[in-house]
């Protein structure tokens, strides 16, 4: 009997993967709230504009989470068939139809590089030209490596954040 794993988006991954933006957002909001009456208005406006970038970096993944929250990935390490799509309406795919798997990593994938987020995006390119895209909100990199043919996996650092 083949055991099939069910992967769904996990909200804690969104928060954990974007924790640095949350810290910057919190510091900026604290500064604007606490010191707004003590410092010139220009300093508050500057803090607000600097806080806007972490706000976008924090809100965008939450927005994406709610878009994909009904999706599910069903796969097994030992079976060539897997399913992906809205829960209850999953589309059947065959692992043998995968031409390559691109794993988009943030920050160049090197140790010690500055990263403002830790989202990985997996893009499965099928032989018929279709693409299946999901992120580490669903599944870890190690589970992808264990579940698919390692020879098909390639890594990329191009624009990972807005691919989720």
pLDDT in tens, 101-123: 998 886 554 444 444 456 788 99
Distance CA 81, CA 76 (A): 8
Q: What is the share, in percent, of the chain residues with pLDDT greater than 90?
A: 29
- DSSP-derived letter for residue 79 is -
Is there a contact between 33 and 51 (Cβ–Cβ < 8 Å)?
Answer: no
Q: Which residues contact 19 (CB under 8 A, 6 or more apart)?
A: none
Q: Report yes or no: 1 and 23 within 8 Å, Cβ to Cβ.
A: no
Label residue 11 by pLDDT band (50, 70, 90).
Answer: confident
Which structure tokens are listed for 24?
A: 């910057």
- In angstroms, rounded to a whole number, what is the distance separating the alpha carbons of residues 13 and 86? 20
State the pTM of this model.
0.73
Q: How confident is the model at residue 64, as a pLDDT?
A: 85
- Average the pLDDT over each of 21-30, 74-83, 84-93, 127-136 and give the range with the smallest value: 21-30
Least confident of 21-25, 80-84, 135-139: 21-25
Report pLDDT for 156. 83
Place of tokens 């992967």: 7
Sign of CA dihedral 111, 114, 117, 121: negative
């Amino acid at each position: 009997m083949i055991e099939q794993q069910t992967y769904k988006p996990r909200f804690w991954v969104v928060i954990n993967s974007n924790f640095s933006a949350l810290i910057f957002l919190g510091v900026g909001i604290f500064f604007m709230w606490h010191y707004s009456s003590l410092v010139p208005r220009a300093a508050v406006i500057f803090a607000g504009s600097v806080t806007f970038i972490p706000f976008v970096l924090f809100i965008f993944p939450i927005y994406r989470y709610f878009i994909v929250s009904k999706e599910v990935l069903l796969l097994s390490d030992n079976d060539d068939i897997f399913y992906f799509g809205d829960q209850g309406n999953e589309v059947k795919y065959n692992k043998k139809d995968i031409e390559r798997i691109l794993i988009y990593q943030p920050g160049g994938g090197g140790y010690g590089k500055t990263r403002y987020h830790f989202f990985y995006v997996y893009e499965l390119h099928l032989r018929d030209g279709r693409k299946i895209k999901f992120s580490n909100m669903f599944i870890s990199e190690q589970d992808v490596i264990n579940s698919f043919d390692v020879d098909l996996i390639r890594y990329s650092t191009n624009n990972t954040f807005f691919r989720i």
